[in-house]
Amino acid sequence: MRTKNFLITLCVVVSVSLVFIILGQHKPESIQNIVTSTNEQIKNFKDNLRDAETKTLIADEKYLNLLGFTDEPRLFPKDIWKNTSLPVVVTYVLDGQESQAIGLIINIAKVLPNNTILVYNLGLGDYALKTLLNYCNSSRCQVITYELSEFPSHVENENLHAFRPLIIQDALRHTGAILFLECHYRLLKNVTQNTIAQLFENKAKKHGVLAWPFDLKNPVSSLTHKKMFEYFHTDAENFLFLQMVKADVLFLINTDSIHYDIMLPWVQCALTQDCIFPVGAQSAGCKFDKKPQYRYSGCHSYDTSALNIVLGLKFKQDSNQYTYRGFFNYFEIVPLSSADALLRELQQNSTTEGKLLPFEP
Q: How many domains does one find in the chain?
A: 2
Q: Note whether 193 and 236 are same-domain residues.
A: yes
111 and 17 inside one domain: no
Structure confidence at residue 8 (pLDDT): 56
50 and 73 part of one domain: no
Q: How far apart are CA 179 and CA 141, in angstroms?
A: 14
Given a cut of 80, whether residue 101 has pLDDT beyond it is yes
Within this chain, do residues 189 and 261 fall inside the same structural domain, yes or no?
Answer: yes
Assess whether 70 and 30 both reside in one domain: no
Residue-wise pLDDT tens digits, 116-134: 999 999 999 999 999 999 9
- Is the per-residue pLDDT at 6 higher than 60? no
Q: Tell me, yes or no, whether 27 and 98 share the same domain.
A: no
Residue 306 clears pLDDT 90, i.e. is over it: yes
- CATH number of the CATH domain containing 225: 3.90.550
Is 34 within a domain? yes
Whole-model pTM?
0.83
Q: Which of 133, 121, 111, 243 is nearest to 179 (CA)?
A: 111
Q: Are residues 128 and 25 in the same domain?
A: no
What is the tens place of the pLDDT at every residue in 176-226?
999 999 999 999 999 999 999 999 999 999 999 999 999 989 999 999 999
Does residue 306 share a domain with residue 253?
Answer: yes
- Does a structural domain hold residue 336? no
Count how many residues are written for the chain. 361
- Give the residue-averaged pLDDT of 277-281: 91
Could you tell me if 180 and 132 lie in one domain?
Answer: yes
pLDDT at position 139: 95
Residue 358: inside a domain: no
- List CB contacts of 223: < 8 A, sequence separation 6 or more: 244, 286, 297, 299, 300, 301, 304, 305
Residues 7 and 75 in one domain: no
pLDDT band at 38 (very low <50, low <70, confident <90, very high): very low
Is 82 inside any structural domain? yes
As a whole number, mean pLDDT of residues 214-241 equals 96
42 lies in the same domain as 69: no
Structural domain of 150: 65-321
> Among the listed ranges 7-16, 185-194, 334-343, which one has the minimum average pLDDT value?
7-16
pLDDT at 228: 98
Q: What is the pLDDT of residue 291?
A: 75
Does residue 266 lie in a domain region?
Answer: yes
Q: What digits encode the pLDDT tens for the residues 53-96? A: 567 788 899 999 999 999 999 999 999 999 999 999 999 999 99
Distance of alpha carbon 123 from alpha carbon 191, whole angstroms: 31
Quick one: 121 and 9 in the same domain? no
